[in-house]
Amino acid sequence: MLNGKRILLIIGGGVAAYKALELARRLMERGATVKGILTSGGQEFITPLSVASLTNNECYTDLFSLKDEAEMGHIRLSREADLIVIAPATADLMAKMAGGIANDLASTVLLATDKPVMVAPAMNAQMWDHPATKRNIETLKSDGIHFVAPGSGMLACGEIGAGRLAEVPDMVEAIEEFFHGNIQPLTGKHAVVTAGPTHEPIDPVRYIANRSSGKQGFAVAGALAALGAKVTLVAGPVTEETPPGVNRVDVETALQMKAAVDDALPADVAVCVAAVADWRVENDVGQKLKKTKDGLPDFQLTENPDILAGLCSRTDNRPTLVIGFAAETENIVEYATVKRTRKGCDLIVANDVSATTGIMGGADNEVHIISEFGDEAWPKLSKTEVASRLALKIADILESK
């Protein structure tokens, strides 16, 4: 948490400036107060009004419009923060900082400050790789400036390479780490996470499946590992990459998933994110089913074991905290509330998987966290952010048990 921390957020020019708004929101949710400075480049992408309304504070743009400039307002602004964060930081702004140039509000504040500064660069890959930028970064590092490294991938300019502004959760993590050190509240805890779909064979070439991508479950496994947990991720057939520090067990069917979860116990927390197939084919068909004139193929379905409900009702080795996900297409909160009680889990994370929401297989999620205390609605977030918040919640609950 960032209770009471004062952050001065300098927003430079770049397509990624919109991410600074989300960053401000996340920092405030964690208890920080945020004041914004928007450079003239930044104003080409977002408005001072959006920064001001989001931060509930004035947004500063111009060196000479600070109301109390007679009292050296820019100096005061630079001193009353606990941390100055620049996101996105352009090559130009970093060059000014490295050269000690102060010709606008942002660069003047940065030269006048005696407070720590954290830079999250964003620029074209060639600019990032340019010797001048590298030199400037070295200078800034030796001046004690902190950095949140940019990511790689498709850039706004259409080129591929390094230079993309770090993701918001990574910036939040870097800021929290700056204030508190690398605290890992789940160190020593074991988490079991199920993710992805299951495939239930019909015959040697066909199977029953569903649209789950595994993204949300993999993100949950990664977020728990990032907080120090030992994580066993039991994954159905998906193409997601294993998050760092996670021990992955690949399975195909619901029966294999259940066996792998049971094998992984004991655990402090189990998070069942998998979209387990409800049914499997009971009779062993053996050979490929052929079309015949006598009608439809002869196979019977039987219900798969409910892995989540099984974990909840264990008399030995029940994890301290068992969390389910509820995939609903209507009456989300009502159905999920009933599902939580029926399955006996401590929390259920409910989401609307109607085709129109794009949640199944998509990058974002909008969830309700349902517990014995009722329903907590979270805004639409990336699946990574849902996972980070859920991991923090898990850490809080386990600490209070």
Binding site for ligand CTP (CB under 6 A): 194, 254, 272, 274-276, 278, 304, 306-308, 324-327
| Active-site option among 157, 272, 312, 345 | 157
Residue whose CB is less far from ligand CTP, 312 or 395: 312
Q: Which is nearer to ligand CTP, 84 or 271 (CB)?
A: 271
Residue 327: CB minimum distance to ligand CTP, A:
4
- In the complex with ligand CTP, the residue whose CB is nearer, 28 or 238, is 238
Classify residue 162 by its DSSP letter: E
Q: Quote the CA–CA distance of 190 and 229 in Å, as a whole number.
A: 6
Alpha helices in 56-154 (DSSP H): 73-79, 91-99, 105-112, 125-129, 131-142
Query: Are the C-beta atoms of residues 93 and 101 closer than 8 Å to each other?
Result: no
Among 326, 327, 330, which Cα is nearest to 348's? 326
Question: How many Cα atoms occupy the beta-carbon half-sphere of 183 within 13 Å?
Answer: 10
- Report the nearest approach of ligand CTP to the CB of residue 272 (Å): 4
Distance CA 232, CA 246 (A): 6
Count of alpha carbons within 13 Å of 150, Cβ hemisphere only? 29
**Pairwise CA distance, residues 376 & 216, whole Å:** 18
229 Cβ contact partners less than 8 Å away, ≥ 6 residues apart: 186, 187, 189, 190, 191, 268, 269, 391
CB of 17 to ligand CTP, least distance (A): 38
Residue with tokens 């770049």: 14
For 229, phi then psi, to 5°, come to -70, 150
CA distances from 111 to 58, 93, 140 (A): 21, 12, 12
Q: Tell me whether residue 240 or residue 306 sits nearer to ligand CTP (CB atom).
A: 306
Give the residue among 225, 232, 244 at the shortest CA–CA distance from 387: 225
Q: Output 84 or 275, the one with its CB closest to ligand CTP.
A: 275
Residue 335: CB minimum distance to ligand CTP, A: 7
CB of 261 to ligand CTP, least distance (A): 8
Task: Classify residue 197 by its DSSP letter.
Answer: B
272 included as an active-site residue = no
- Output 38 or 326, the one with its CB closest to ligand CTP: 326
Q: How far is the CB of 308 from ligand CTP (least distance, A)?
A: 3
Question: What are the catalytic residues?
Answer: 157
